[in-house]
């Protein structure tokens, strides 16, 4: 399986770290599109748009290559030994999939209970709600074609497209459990995720607060109905 590593030209230190972590496994470095020099105005930040554009280039490369799938990595991940087995031996891949998420962002995620695909000492489950991050995943040619189609307007971040609610696009997006990759807390949080943490939430008052409290039980009911529909349950995916 071909491995692509997205890395900014100005982040040579990260390239050195990732070269060491990949332990001699061949990979192709992709010089990431830099949000600082990008001429873009739209719904996304420039860094988010640059991230989507970088992934789009690699999705197109996969299609052009004729390969059935590829692994795409960002340059800020920790890697456990099981990762190497998963990318070097592909006999475990499902017969039908669009993407397989190899990382965890340690957030509660709605995962479908059935089917559960056993992969050696791991499991694969379909993702049915948001699980942020696109630092490590495998994507199929079909998945790349679908992602190119839904991302052409550059109006949603990469992880929103791949792992917000993939079934909306008719995509089979799986999660590896436990995940052999995670973003390295010692490195800078990727810009496309940084905004999620910097959102300033204003507490509602008066009628807005009353409206929120009235809607709250209906929101809880919707979450319950959705989990029943997909025969799913929320899980926090471990790194291991």
CATH number (domain holding residue 99): 3.90.550
pLDDT band at 71 (very low <50, low <70, confident <90, very high): very high
Whether 221 is covered by a domain: the verdict is no
pLDDT of residue 1: 96
pLDDT of residue 219: 47
Beta partners for 136?
Answer: 73
pLDDT of residue 87: 97
Domain that holds residue 36: 2-201+231-236
Separation of alpha carbons 154 and 157, rounded Å? 8
pLDDT band at 135 (very low <50, low <70, confident <90, very high): very high
Whether 30 is covered by a domain: the verdict is yes
Whether 218 is covered by a domain: the verdict is no
pLDDT band at 36 (very low <50, low <70, confident <90, very high): very high
Separation of alpha carbons 109 and 232, rounded Å? 10
Whether 208 is covered by a domain: the verdict is no
pLDDT band at 157 (very low <50, low <70, confident <90, very high): very high
Instruction: Please write the tens of the pLDDT for every residue from 37-67.
Output: 999 998 899 999 999 999 999 999 999 999 9
Separation of alpha carbons 57 and 33, rounded Å? 10
Domain total in the chain: 1
Instruction: Please write the tens of the pLDDT for every residue from 75-132.
Output: 999 999 999 999 999 999 999 999 999 999 988 898 988 889 999 999 999 998 888 8
Spatial contact of 158 and 134, defined as CB atoms under 8 Å apart: yes
Whether 219 is covered by a domain: the verdict is no
Beta partners for 140?
Answer: 69
Peptide linkage before 115 cis (omega within 30 of 0):
yes
Whether 11 is covered by a domain: the verdict is yes
In this predicted structure, the answer to whether residue 152 has a pLDDT above a threshold of 70 is yes
Separation of alpha carbons 15 and 28, rounded Å? 11
Whether 220 is covered by a domain: the verdict is no
Separation of alpha carbons 69 and 72, rounded Å? 10
In this predicted structure, the answer to whether residue 151 has a pLDDT above a threshold of 80 is yes
pLDDT of residue 231: 53
pLDDT of residue 113: 87
Compute the average pLDDT of residues 9-24.
95
Which bin fits 237, alpha (ψ -120 to 50), beta or left (φ > 0)? beta
For residue 182, CA distances in Å to 71, 136, 159 come to 15, 8, 14
Whether 209 is covered by a domain: the verdict is no
Compute the average pLDDT of residues 185-195.
50
């Amino acid at each position: 399986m071909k491995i692509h590593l997205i890395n900014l030209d100005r982040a040579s230190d990260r390239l050195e770290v990732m070269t060491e972590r990949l332990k001699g496994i061949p990979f192709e470095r992709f010089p990431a599109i830099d949000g600082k020099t990008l001429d873009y105005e739209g719904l996304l930040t420039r860094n988010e748009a640059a991230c989507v554009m970088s992934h789009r280039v690699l999705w197109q490369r996969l299609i052009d290559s004729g390969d059935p799938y590829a692994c795409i990595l960002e340059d800020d991940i920790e890697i456990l030994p099981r990762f190497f087995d998963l990318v070097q031996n592909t006999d475990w891949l499902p017969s039908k999939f669009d993407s397989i998420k190899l990382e965890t962002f340690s957030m509660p995620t709605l995962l479908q209970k059935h089917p559960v695909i056993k992969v050696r000492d791991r499991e694969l489950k379909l993702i049915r709600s948001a699980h942020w991050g696109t630092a490590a995943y495998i994507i199929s040619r079909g998945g790349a074609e679908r992602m190119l189609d839904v991302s052409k307007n550059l109006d949603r971040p990469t992880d929103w497209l791949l792992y917000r609610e993939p079934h909306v696009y008719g995509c089979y997006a799986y999660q590896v459990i436990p995940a052999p990759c995670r973003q390295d807390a010692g490195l800078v949080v990727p810009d496309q995720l940084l905004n999620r943490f910097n959102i300033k939430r204003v507490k509602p008052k008066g009628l807005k607060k009353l409206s929120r409290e009235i809607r709250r039980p209906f929101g809880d009911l919707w979450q319950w109905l959705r989990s029943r529909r997909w025969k799913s349950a929320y899980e926090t995916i471990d790194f291991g």
